[in-house]
Amino acid sequence: MKKKVVKFLEFVAVIAAFVIAALIIKNISVESWLMGELEPVTLAMTEEGLKEDYIGMPAADDIPRIEDAEMWEDTWQTSCVTIEPINIISTGIGVRHPWVSAYSNSGRRGGPRKRADITSMVLDVIGEYGEYYLIQLPDESYILAQMPIDAAGRLKAGEEITLPVGRKAAANSQAVAEIKDLCREYDVDTTGVFYCINDGWNEEHSTLAQLLRLGIGAVIVLVLGTIFILAVNKVFKVED
């Protein structure tokens, strides 16, 4: 009986290690590690080159700041802007990143499996979806936003930050339908979303980023699983 209990608890310990690893790799920004320190983008740079190349990069002091709802409403989708939010609210709903294929690899049966366009962020372990957030502007109004994981984490921690260079993009209608009650509660304009993720860079480095996530996850599972199993064996005085 004792052996069965120990085996069951060891199984639970491994599952717990997997869950903890999934939560950790889900909330770390591997992409930011790979990017490293970048030179802030100036307004002149965005006017000379392709604006898409500068979205998601650090914003210099002369990049226009969106201060209130009226400024956001008047912002063109081609304009490069940034925001210094005073609060952030998670919606729990994410939209598939543009660089993630709409179809996964073929399974054992049939052809490729279509990925959902939106999902609950609880189910997104390897970073294929970008969460929709509500961010509060300096005038205390709220708008929709998508941003790098580390930027969202810093805002949740109460830090005062300047978001990367972004633009006004069309909001995903499926995602909006899922969060309509929350948007109504905070009087959010759901026609547009502040988007500050560099799609081009992420597409080029997505494979490396995923491999890093999986590698980090494997190490965490190995270390925690070993610690948990040793703890179980110690509690039940299991001899080698």
Break the chain into its structural domains and give their ranges: 2-235
> Would the pTM of this model clear 0.75, i.e. be above it?
yes
Confidence of residue 22 (pLDDT cuts 50, 70, 90): confident
**Residue with tokens 């000379």, as numbered in its chain:** 48
Q: What's the CA gap between 67 and 151, in Å, rounded?
A: 18
Name the amino acid, one letter, at 108.
Answer: R
Q: For position 135, what pLDDT does the model report?
A: 98
For the chain, give the mean pLDDT: 87
Confidence of residue 113 (pLDDT cuts 50, 70, 90): confident
Query: pLDDT tens for residues 167-180?
Result: 999 999 999 999 99
| Reduced DSSP (H G I as helix, E B as strand, rest coil) percent helix, strand, coil of the chain, to 5 | 45, 20, 40
Mean pLDDT confidence for 187-215: 86
Q: For position 237, what pLDDT does the model report?
A: 67
